[in-house]
Structure 1
């Protein structure tokens, strides 16, 4: 079995838990995921099956979330799963003020990832260091947030803001919640997070584990085609003689003049068979990942 599963990750599960469960249900050894989700987050978790695990690096990086930010509280993990380190009721915070502050978080922004995160520093993950009592600040990184929309606003001692966020890979929504609270000088933390799309997979088409098990029991489960989430890459079709050579690891000549050098491409045979991923180099197509041999 080779392809992708658009999984709706449940609350409380790690991404590793989801891979292990999928491996057990499908009786597969080769299973991987794209875009780690925190245990407290739910939503889209792309799962690669079989040979499709080798395609994970080529998936698009765009992601979208709905998030709830709670003001007046700061935690060690920048979400409600961690120890509260500061808490004070918020007075006179208006939605208009929040909206003005939110404009600082659109476009290319610099953020410091949460101390409890999967980022590695000197070969060790930050959450492992934090659990050992060693708090290490991750290096600041530049990420891109393409859009933030306010969905709802609830007043109270600890007001809450619901937002929809579209962003690029590497963006921490927990960091946005923390930094927004800091800009407003009231503190903030992430109270709820759901990923609505990731790497071309969308929540509306995702499967829960319960739905997956039902489909497996009724023999109606079919993985998504391996090339389905790769539509952002340009396509090139090879004649049969070149398709065979390319699948054997050989560079083949191409005539497409509009291709950029070092551009990744989806490679197909004339019969429509998906062959893998290639990279253009002048007038040559170089194999990067041969998904399957050409069937003439």
Structure 2
């Protein structure tokens, strides 16, 4: 069994716990997530089963879209609503908000938060943070492709609803913290929903509760490979090529397609039958749709 499951993760559960629950429910061996979501966050979490785990690099290279709620006036040690306040402003103004937010578009520098899964000398940063230990973190470049203000909500501590599109490696919590710092009032991420990865959005995902309570076979929740419309298409010409692909055997193509290894969607007779990786004129299968070989 090889495939991708698009899960709607509920809040207050780790991505690793989601993987463990699905693994136990369906008695799976090879399974993993394709990009972590913070425990307080909800939304799209992609889970790879079997050989589909080989597509980690592809899925993590795709743009990610988020709906985020920024609360201004209170900064926390975790940079989200789960943390303890470390700064509270008595007066909070939204003056200059749009200008400040626009300054975070494009390539920016972030310092990863202490409460993260990054490693430092063999331990995860969040483990050190829970012990009250703070260590130096290397600033790094991240790309914020777009950030749009959808709504502002007045109050003693105003809230700002944002849509953010970014690439892998960007911390939305840190983005919220840094916006608050630049405004001079502090801020933190009050809530977060991942709404899209590449072209896959929440309409193509299943709630975790449905999978765990109603699911009888994990294959019922596998994403059709045709949805990966960003992939280059490889059309197989003869039936023997199709049969070898479905059996998991390397397929000899009639011409070289790529000088480097590249993920592709695989088609036969106008139908998408799976995904693979092509190098020169050899196609290596990764996963196929359930197609009979006769």
Q: 2:9 maps to which residue?
A: 9
Alpha-carbon spacing, 1:294–1:142, altered in 2? closer, same or farther (3 Å): farther
User: Aligned runs of 1:99-118 on 2, under 5 Å?
Assistant: 99-118=98-117
Contact 1:35 1:198 in 2 (8 A): no
Contact 1:181 1:187 in 2 (8 A): yes
Contact 2:225 2:274 in 1 (8 A): no
Q: 1:196 maps to which residue?
A: 195
- After superposing the two structures, state which structure 1 stretch, 153-162 or 45-54, moved more: 45-54
User: Aligned runs of 1:115-134 on 2, under 5 Å?
Assistant: 115-134=114-133
Shift of 1:226: 5.9
Alpha-carbon spacing, 1:286–1:140, altered in 2? closer, same or farther (3 Å): farther
2:106 maps to 1:93: no
SS of the counterpart of 2:18?
helix
Q: 1:161 maps to which residue?
A: 160
RMSD: 2.9
**For 1:132-173, what per-residue CA distance to the aligned partner results, in whole angstroms no more than 9, with x for missing partners?**
332123211211111111111112221111101111111110
* Partners of 2:115 and 2:121 in 1: CA distance: 15
Q: 2:46 maps to which residue?
A: 46
User: Aligned runs of 1:1-296 on 2, under 5 Å?
Assistant: 1-59=1-59, 60-94=61-95, 97-213=96-212, 215-216=214-215, 222-225=220-223, 227-228=225-226, 230-240=228-238, 248-249=249-250, 252=252, 254-255=254-255, 261-262=259-260, 264-266=262-264, 268=266, 270=268, 272=271, 274=273, 276-281=275-280, 284-285=281-282, 287=284, 290-291=286-287, 295=293
* Partners of 1:233 and 1:187 in 2: CA distance: 41
TM-score norm. by structure 1 comes to 0.84
- After superposing the two structures, state which structure 1 stretch, 58-67 or 223-232, moved more: 223-232
- After superposing the two structures, state which structure 1 stretch, 142-151 or 204-213, moved more: 204-213
Structure 2 portions without partners, runs of 5+? none
Shift of 1:188: 1.1
Contact 1:78 1:174 in 2 (8 A): yes
* Partners of 1:157 and 1:99 in 2: CA distance: 19
How many residues are aligned here?
287
* Partners of 2:48 and 2:78 in 1: CA distance: 29
TM-score norm. by structure 2 comes to 0.85
* Partners of 2:116 and 2:172 in 1: CA distance: 12
* Partners of 1:212 and 1:229 in 2: CA distance: 20
